[in-house]
Chain A
Amino acid sequence: MSALLEVKDLRLQFGGVKAVDGLSFSVEAGEILAVIGPNGAGKTSAFNCISAFYLPTSGSVVFDGKDIVREAPGIFRTLRLVDLLQSFGFYRVLPSRVTKWGMARTFQNLRLFRELSVLDNVKTARHANLREGFWATLLHTPGYRRAEAECAEQARGWLDFVGFTGDENLYVTQLPYGEQRRVEIARALATGPKLLLLDEPAAGLNFNEKQGLMQLIRRIRDLGVAVVLIEHDMGLIMELAERIVVLNYGKEIAVGTPEQIKHDPVVIEAYLGVEDEALDDTKLQTGTVNLSSLDPARPGRTRKGGRS
């Protein structure tokens, strides 16, 4: 069976800056994959290419059998018109289309709809799955009422799924930060995804909230949704991820299970610089270099990065 998401030789260039430089990886259905890397390694740029917010300079992203870079009606593809149009900057697949195919994402900085209530935020994500005609909306037909009721029920279901117990009629800005994160994940889930991209979901969360987030991501995986997450919290990643892709300077420098990554000298070098006396030799040999101590969000905290 082919992979759910197949990224091949993805390149993204801004002028002379190579943000993503030949990235390849794949995601199987129902797995948790983490993308890590030092700041500026091109993680978010890669995410934006995958979710069609950026048009990559070259390379291909195939999601669920559809080419996210140049999916088009057959006639356009056979005549190679898409490439021609794209070289003039005319045709691109819209992110909304990719979302309809079953890829949902969250953003690095919270990007909820600030003047909508919690419930409306999640309802908004049902857009593509909701059938409401123009006249039905104006006349409030029974069909419209049914569709709205079902939409609200779905939204509440997802709010419950992520463990949101507060008042759904509050504006999202009235919620504490951790709850806003929760709502954002509920909103992404409400699109009915096969693949969920989480961009630093644990940023700014406290220890308890991070534990909750891990449970939540596992439960999302248990629904059959593949989860790809960018994260800086090594403790969380090592415990949660089934596979890890490590990026540096826009290239993947290592792919493997948390155990393999932890012991990979290339990864350690990327994070800690070239090996020298400053690095505790015994720690390196026993393989318990604690990458989580590098997490700027939690200085000094040394939670064990996995059960080794």
Chain B
Amino acid sequence: MSRSAFRDRDALGAPSPLFDRPATPAGILSSNTGFLRALGAISVVLLIVLPFLDASRYTMSIATSALIYIMLCMGLNVVVGYAGLLDLGYIAFFAVGAYTSGIFTTVLGWPMWAALPATVLACIIAGIIIGAPTLRLRSDYLAIVTLGFGEIIRITANNLDITGGPSGIHGIPTWHFGDWSFADGFTLFGLEFPQRVVFYYFVAAVVVLVGVIGAGRLARGRLGRAWKAVRDDEDAAEAMGINTYIAKIMAYIIGAVWAGLAGQLMATHLSAISPNSFMFLYSALILMAVVLGGMGSTPGVIIGALFVSLAPELLRDFAEWRFLIFGVLLVVVMLFRPSGLWPATAVLPWLKKRRPVPPATAGFVAVPPSTANEDLETVEGEESR
């Protein structure tokens, strides 16, 4: 190989691949991605079918809040699961989103869709405000600062006039486009969509779908790899040309926007918000959902969010005992699945056996012949003798 092979390019390029690699399997049962896609498709179908099976106010209300939890957990998953930044005040961004949309629609009288960009912008600013000064902190210190930030937002909301003080904001209007509002409902193919609840369910479903798919795609791209690199080893990430400050602040911003959108969904869903909805308990609950499901794993986080939001409802029969049972369940899960119900590094059980055994360290014999220089040939010659 000549010395000048790659000199003509500015950055050193890689030699083209030399070995034949087996094609990646793509079947539903023979690859992780295929299986996850199939699972995702089934989930979407279930999501659409659910209101046709049971459109009672109660079911729809629980389902909508479960969807909002999923959105929140996907956002926190970006911060905690991908970027590895422990955030104990995540609910603050949820509050920023909810209050921004609430103030813009009630005090300023904007329509809900127009408040959307305002919410996103407010969350980006909030993400930068919390992210920028805490970037140099690691683990425990970061957790404490974010905990403080979460409380600051709640107490501020509790004491400002524009946020309605302790009683919060109520009478948040529904989505309306021109004259038509969700409250009116409509009829399609003979099916009636009368309740506002159903609409909120569908709106939430669409937003959550976009949120889940978007977060997953970001995680698989350049930015996502940077996040994971920062999580696994910050110094090594820096040595690989990743500006870890920018990567971390991007994680904060994305997480904040996701939470803000969830906040707007909740503000319209409940039509009233108060500082009590943004207590530290909820930060802890969301964090728990992410850890329980499996940090950095989309299916895991969704399962965790569903568990945390639905378990108290399903255990309602046990009355006062339900939180005790809830707690015991959590401990049991963490005992048997310490890295979460569906860890990010999980391999489907029936694929485990098919994993090829890594080759015994190949030594220099693995050096492909086309790039071998004279030294190699002599050494190989000596070996074979």
Which residues of A pack against B, CB within 8 Å?
A: 30, 51, 53, 94-97, 99-100, 102, 104-105, 107, 111-116, 120, 123-125, 127-130, 132, 134, 137-138, 140, 144, 147-148, 151, 153-158, 160-161, 163-171, 174-179, 187-194, 206, 208-209, 211-212, 215-216, 218-219, 222-225
Q: Is B6 an interface residue (CB 8 A)?
A: yes
Q: Is B385 an interface residue (CB 8 A)?
A: no
**Which A residue's beta carbon lies closest to that of B246?**
A96
* CB pair B239 A104 closer than 8 Å: yes
Give the complex CA separation of A176 and B222 in angstroms.
27
Give the complex CA separation of A72 and B243 in angstroms.
16
Q: Is B187 an interface residue (CB 8 A)?
A: no
B357 to chain A minimum Cβ distance, whole angstroms, is: 9
Give the complex CA separation of A127 and B250 in angstroms.
15
Assuming A124-B237, A191-B241, A218-B373, is B14 touching A157 (CB within 8 A)? yes
Cβ contacts under 8 Å, A158 to chain B:
14-15
Interface string of B209-228 (1 = CB under 8 A from A): 00000100110011101101
* CB pair B243 A160 closer than 8 Å: no
* CB pair B358 A176 closer than 8 Å: yes
**Which A residue's beta carbon lies closest to that of B19?**
A160
Cβ contacts under 8 Å, B12 to chain A:
102, 189, 192-194, 223-225
| Residues B294-336 near A (CB distance < 8 A) | 296
Assuming A161-B371, A165-B366, A176-B358, is B243 touching A113 (CB within 8 A)? no
**Which A residue's beta carbon lies closest to that of B296?**
A115
Give the complex CA separation of A205 and B317 in angstroms.
62
| Residues B221-245 near A (CB distance < 8 A) | 221-223, 225-226, 228-229, 231-233, 235-245
* CB pair B242 A219 closer than 8 Å: no
Give the complex CA separation of A154 and B237 in angstroms.
18
Q: Is B359 an interface residue (CB 8 A)?
A: yes
Q: Is B349 an interface residue (CB 8 A)?
A: no
* CB pair A208 B3 closer than 8 Å: no
Give the complex CA separation of A161 and B18 in angstroms.
8
Cβ contacts under 8 Å, B226 to chain A:
124, 127
Cβ contacts under 8 Å, B375 to chain A:
215, 218
Assuming A115-B231, A137-B223, is B241 touching A176 (CB within 8 A)? no
Give the complex CA separation of A151 and B14 in angstroms.
10
Query: A96-B242, A223-B3 known; 17 other A-B pairs, CB under 8 Å?
Result: A94-B238, A95-B239, A96-B238, A96-B239, A96-B240, A96-B241, A111-B233, A113-B228, A125-B241, A127-B226, A132-B223, A137-B223, A157-B14, A161-B371, A165-B366, A194-B12, A224-B7
**Which B residue's beta carbon lies closest to that of A187?**
B240
* CB pair A163 B366 closer than 8 Å: yes
A-B contact pairs, 28 of them (CB 8 A): A51-B239, A96-B243, A111-B235, A113-B237, A124-B237, A127-B241, A132-B223, A137-B217, A137-B218, A157-B14, A157-B16, A158-B15, A160-B17, A160-B18, A161-B371, A165-B366, A177-B361, A179-B361, A208-B363, A209-B363, A211-B363, A212-B365, A215-B367, A215-B379, A219-B373, A222-B1, A223-B6, A223-B12
Cβ contacts under 8 Å, A114 to chain B:
232-233
Best-surrounded residue of A96, A158, A171, A188 (most CB of chain B within 10 A): A96
Q: Is B356 an interface residue (CB 8 A)?
A: yes
* CB pair A219 B1 closer than 8 Å: yes
Assuming A51-B239, A115-B296, is B362 touching A170 (CB within 8 A)? no
Q: Is B360 an interface residue (CB 8 A)?
A: yes
Cβ contacts under 8 Å, A174 to chain B:
358
How many CB-defined contacts (below 8 Å) exist between A and B?
213
Cβ contacts under 8 Å, B222 to chain A:
127, 130, 132, 137, 147, 151
Cross-chain contact of B242 among A102, A127, A161 (Cβ < 8 A):
A127
* CB pair A127 B225 closer than 8 Å: yes
Give the complex CA separation of A128 and B360 in angstroms.
33
Which residues of B pack against A, CB within 8 Å?
A: 1-7, 11-19, 21, 24, 214, 217-218, 221-223, 225-226, 228-229, 231-233, 235-245, 296, 344-345, 355-356, 358-368, 371-373, 375-376, 379
Give the complex CA separation of A187 and B365 in angstroms.
21
Cross-chain contact of B17 among A153, A193, A209 (Cβ < 8 A):
A153
B62 to chain A minimum Cβ distance, whole angstroms, is: 29
Best-surrounded residue of B18, B238, B241 (most CB of chain A within 10 A): B241
Q: From DSSP, what is the main secondary structure of chain B's interface residues?
A: loop
A124 to chain B minimum Cβ distance, whole angstroms, is: 5
* CB pair A176 B355 closer than 8 Å: no
B374 to chain A minimum Cβ distance, whole angstroms, is: 10
* CB pair B241 A154 closer than 8 Å: no
Cβ contacts under 8 Å, A178 to chain B:
361, 363
Best-surrounded residue of B16, B217, B221, B245 (most CB of chain A within 10 A): B221
A130 to chain B minimum Cβ distance, whole angstroms, is: 5
Best-surrounded residue of A115, A116, A155 (most CB of chain B within 10 A): A115
**Which A residue's beta carbon lies closest to that of B5?**
A223
Cβ contacts under 8 Å, A107 to chain B:
235-236, 239
Cβ contacts under 8 Å, B237 to chain A:
113, 124
5 closest residue pairs by CB, A with B: A157-B14, A212-B364, A192-B11, A128-B241, A163-B366
Give the complex CA separation of A302 and B12 in angstroms.
38
Assuming A105-B239, A114-B232, is B358 touching A175 (CB within 8 A)? yes
Best-surrounded residue of B222, B231, B365 (most CB of chain A within 10 A): B222
B6 to chain A minimum Cβ distance, whole angstroms, is: 6
Cross-chain contact of B368 among A97, A160, A192, A209 (Cβ < 8 A):
A160
* CB pair A116 B225 closer than 8 Å: yes
A156 to chain B minimum Cβ distance, whole angstroms, is: 4
B215 to chain A minimum Cβ distance, whole angstroms, is: 10
Cross-chain contact of A53 among B217, B221, B235, B364 (Cβ < 8 A):
B235
